[in-house]
Amino acid sequence: MSFDALYVFLGVKVLPLAYAIIGFGLLIAIHECGHFLFCKLFGIHTPTFSIGFGPEIFRRKIGKTDFRLAAIPMGGYVEIAGLAEVGQGDQAHSQVTGPESFDSKPYWQKLLVLSGGIIFNLIFAYLVFCGLFMIGSSNQQGLMVSGVVKASAAEKGGLKAGDVIIAINQDSLRDESHNLRENAQEMLLKAIRSNPEKAVTITVERDNKPTDLAITLGERKEGGESIGSLGAELRTPIPRLPFFQAIKAGIHATNGWIIAIVYSVKQLITQRSLEGAGGPVMIMSMSFDAAQHGLLALLTFLALISINLALINVLPIGALDGGQIFFVTLEAIIGRKLPLLFKNIVNITSWLFFISLAVFLTYRDIATLFGTKITGVVKKLLSIAGLR
């Protein structure tokens, strides 16, 4: 491999993957940091603070806490003295009592400790979106294609993630100063919607060169009307705003995403369908794609994942923060502790459910990302093993 080829490989493949892994590990660290800092604030002993699983690559004891870092940053935990949780260390301190025990603290302190990860994940999202509006987007001269739907008109027409759309049917989306017009997205969507199953010319910048793509649009129904469909996700440049306006815009954008994600989670639950849900492999793949489009794209994606982590952890399921919040709230209402056996059964059952869900989503992610060949191989192996 030549030096130039190695340079391209490192820059296009290795570094974005490293950024994606570090970014996802950062989200886990932020979540666990929320639990950890509230424990420290209220004088609760934390024997272990661990990020990741698999082979241990770092360990250091600072004060009374053993800090650990493992090779695969897809999870983590803070072991809390006086709180028994499945998967939270060796549980050697889960039944301790005394002033440094979780169990000895008032309800409001317990609630903040258990909610710490959720709070910190949301704070991270608000900070990222406010920061994005403070610095603005690096691409102010076109609409960035952030993703292309498989088998869509966009994919068939040669549109690729990373392309910057600068014109539609020779109508430029730029003004005389070569900046993106304020109504650029509206112009593009109007041209697409009004031309179902018709050919349009989309001009993109690819490798800093303009390229015309002849794309035959698809068709979909909306309110009984046929409209054109492209099948591409677009990222609109973010304007650079003054400090207080940026904070206001960032809060508004984050609130909008929270509402949208709550609705999506609600749909998954009410429809009892995992359509649209992604597992660890898909999340890492999307993080990698985002990292290839630059730091701002990666931070935006991580902020959305952070909101997802926060909202999912609110659910009152034993293996999640929401489940532990439910337990301590119920104990505060009835005035006594729930049987440890009952909590362990709920927690273990929840963990088994999430592990099974992760395995299923991972299998589906691999089949989606790598196509029918992988699916066929897996089916063949299951058939040989007598499992299918």
What pLDDT shows up at residue 369?
Answer: 59
Q: Residue 168 gets which letter from DSSP?
A: E
Q: Which two tokens stand for residue 184?
A: 């650029």
Rounded-to-integer distance, Cα 81 and Cα 94, Å: 5
What pLDDT shows up at residue 6?
Answer: 45
- The pairing of strands 164-168 and 199-206 is antiparallel
**How far from 80 is each of 217, 219, 227, CA to CA, in Å?**
56, 55, 56
In the chain, list all ranges with CATH 2.30.42.10. Answer: 143-235
Long-range interactions of 367-371: CB distance < 8 A, separation 24+: 368/282, 369/281, 369/282, 369/285
**How far from 1 is each of 165, 192, 205, CA to CA, in Å?**
34, 43, 29
Instruction: Give residue for tokens 């897996």.
Output: 378
What pLDDT shows up at residue 276?
Answer: 56
Alpha helices in the chain (DSSP H): 3-9, 15-41, 107-135, 153-156, 184-193, 243-270, 280-292, 295-314, 321-334, 340-370, 372-384
Backbone angles phi and psi of 94, in degrees to 5:
-70, -25
Instruction: Give residue for tokens 């990020």.
Output: 51
- Could you list the mean pLDDT of each consecutive 10-residue stretch along the chain, which spans 388 residues? 45 63 84 94 92 84 90 82 72 78 92 95 94 74 75 86 84 76 79 87 85 87 78 74 90 86 73 60 62 72 87 83 89 86 80 74 64 47 44
What pLDDT shows up at residue 309?
Answer: 87
What pLDDT shows up at residue 361?
Answer: 67
What pLDDT shows up at residue 366?
Answer: 65
What pLDDT shows up at residue 118?
Answer: 95
Instruction: Give residue for tokens 């002849």.
Output: 214
CATH code for residues 143-235: 2.30.42.10
Four-CA torsion 356, 360, 365, 370, nearest 10 degrees: 130
pTM value?
Answer: 0.71
